[in-house]
Structure 1
Amino acid sequence: MFLNNIIEVFLFVNPLGPTCFETERMIESFSNERDEKVKVRFIPLLNFHTIGNIVKETDNPTLAHRNQLYTESFHSSLAFQAASMQGKKKGRKFLMALQDKVINEGKEVTKELFIQIADLIKLDVEMFEEDIQSDFSETAFKKDQNLAQEMNIQNAPSCVLYSGNDDAYGYRVNTAFTKQLLHGFCDEKVQVKKASVNRLSLLQTM
């Protein structure tokens, strides 16, 4: 059960998706605007749909490019999991710094870039390097993919939000969403009518 003064947000993203990066920034802004405590969890999601979305955004539909994007997204997901072992906020900070370097600055996804960012955000770099090579990071990644299946999430960005107004149900948003929509859920000002927004039983996902 969730306490009345807590909002919990599960944001499913592709770690290298430009649209996902913008959505993460929006979620961070939403969190800062709420009076309640907001717990945010970024969850990497890799499948045919999420990779296909990046292919569309990069305008390079070749199979080789798709395979490269999947490999880079997978390794970025493991790096995110390794960073998150030093705290969820550190993990989010790592992911957004990585996205900024790759999406905005055009950096290549490499182990050296991961280490550079880990040092930049003041992670324990030695621990990070150990964790990124460990089975724990891959296990955490697989658990996240299972969570997405349990919540029936197939695309990214997608969001599941639980607010203190209803401790039995959350809201799942499978398409584009805004801060105003999320505020509306939390303030009970939104009626769930669109197919892109579904009531989601807490008992089915926890």
Structure 2
Amino acid sequence: MWEVFLYINPLCSFCLKVEQSIIDFTRKNNIDTQYHFVTTSNMETINDYMILKGMKPCDLEGRIGVTQDVYDASLLYKAAACQGNKKARNLLMNLQQEVNTNQRPYNDETIKLAVEKSGLDYKAIMTEKSGDAVKEAVKKDQELACKMHVEKAPTVIVFDDEDPTKPGVMINQFGSETSEEIINENLIAMLEKTMPHQISEPKSKYYTNDSIINIERYRR
């Protein structure tokens, strides 16, 4: 079984493409997978997101607004996880779809729409979202990202539970935000590194590897 950590910006269209690709990839290859979606936010991820949205990173007012929205969406995702991790992932991807593909603003109306599409209880989520437990959970996710040396979003880290001593495989370079082909190349490279007996495709030029030796350090 694979254990996959996806470090993502909860409002980013590029992250959505990577999320969809890794889920489709593991299903296509019949790989039993446990997913951990982890929201992350730092100076670099905010810069990347602002550029992706056509904003200037030096726009202080815009940066404050983006940072607040990303943090709020992180709280929303963690609150949704109280109703089940799979439904929370669906909410996250529905929210990214509404904000990016459907060009809706990130506001209460869009949040409610994404929540209802995901089959979740809106009132319960909003109550959980304002609680200290959810805020602490988001803080712990940030700490986990630091421990795993995650600096960019999206970042995918894969552990093969069949061999717990094997280092995890990190992919954090995916090329163009519009190129699904490059994303798939990286996923093939990941599979080659993790399960070399199943595939022998050449490694992507964007592929990077990090040494994350003991997964037990990072399980929450």
- Same fold? TM cut 0.5: yes
Determine whether 1:181 maps to 2:189. Answer: yes
Aligned partner of 2:192: which letter? G
Are the aligned partners of 1:7 and 1:164 in contact in 2 as well (CA < 8 Å)?
Answer: yes
Secondary structure class of the residue paired with 2:33: strand
Offset, 1:204: 4.3
Aligned partner of 1:60: which letter? M
CA displacement, residues 77-116 of structure 1 (integer Å, 9 cap, x when unaligned): 1111111111111111000000000011111111232222
1:132 and 1:106 map into 2 onto residues whose CA distance is 24
2:98 and 2:37 map into 1 onto residues whose CA distance is 18
Secondary structure class of the residue paired with 1:15: coil
| Structure 1 equivalent of residue 25 of structure 2 | 30
The sequence identity of aligned pairs, in percent, is 25
Looking at secondary structure, tell me which structure has more strand per residue: 1
In structure 2, relative to structure 1, the CA distance for the partners of 1:199 and 1:166 (3 Å cut) is: farther
CA displacement, residues 174-202 of structure 1 (integer Å, 9 cap, x when unaligned): 322532122213322588x9882122111
Aligned partner of 1:185: which letter? K
After the TM superposition, list the runs of 4 or more consecutive aligned residues in structure 1 that deviate by more than 4 angstroms: none
CA displacement, residues 9-53 of structure 1 (integer Å, 9 cap, x when unaligned): 001011112211111111111221232310111111101000000
Unaligned runs of 5+ in 2: 175-182
| Structure 2 equivalent of residue 106 of structure 1 | 103
| Structure 1 equivalent of residue 178 of structure 2 | none
Aligned partner of 1:50: which letter? T
1:100 and 1:45 map into 2 onto residues whose CA distance is 18
Unaligned runs of 5+ in 1: 1-5
Two-structure CA RMSD over aligned residues (Å):
2.2
| Structure 1 equivalent of residue 212 of structure 2 | 200
Are the aligned partners of 1:78 and 1:138 in contact in 2 as well (CA < 8 Å)?
Answer: yes
In structure 2, relative to structure 1, the CA distance for the partners of 1:102 and 1:11 (3 Å cut) is: same
2:130 and 2:98 map into 1 onto residues whose CA distance is 22
Q: Taking structure 1 as the reference length, what is the TM-score of the superposition?
A: 0.89
| Structure 2 equivalent of residue 72 of structure 1 | 69
| Structure 2 equivalent of residue 172 of structure 1 | 170
Are the aligned partners of 2:46 and 2:67 in contact in 1 as well (CA < 8 Å)?
Answer: yes
1:48-197 aligned at under 5 Å gives the runs 48-61=43-56, 62-168=59-165, 169-176=167-174, 177=183, 178-188=186-196, 196-197=208-209
1:95 and 1:101 map into 2 onto residues whose CA distance is 10
Are the aligned partners of 1:115 and 1:129 in contact in 2 as well (CA < 8 Å)?
Answer: no
Structure with larger RCO (C-alpha < 8 A, sep 6+):
1
2:119 and 2:206 map into 1 onto residues whose CA distance is 43
1:70 and 1:175 map into 2 onto residues whose CA distance is 23
Q: Taking structure 2 as the reference length, what is the TM-score of the superposition?
A: 0.84
Offset, 1:173: 2.1
Are the aligned partners of 1:165 and 1:186 in contact in 2 as well (CA < 8 Å)?
Answer: no
In structure 2, relative to structure 1, the CA distance for the partners of 1:195 and 1:115 (3 Å cut) is: closer
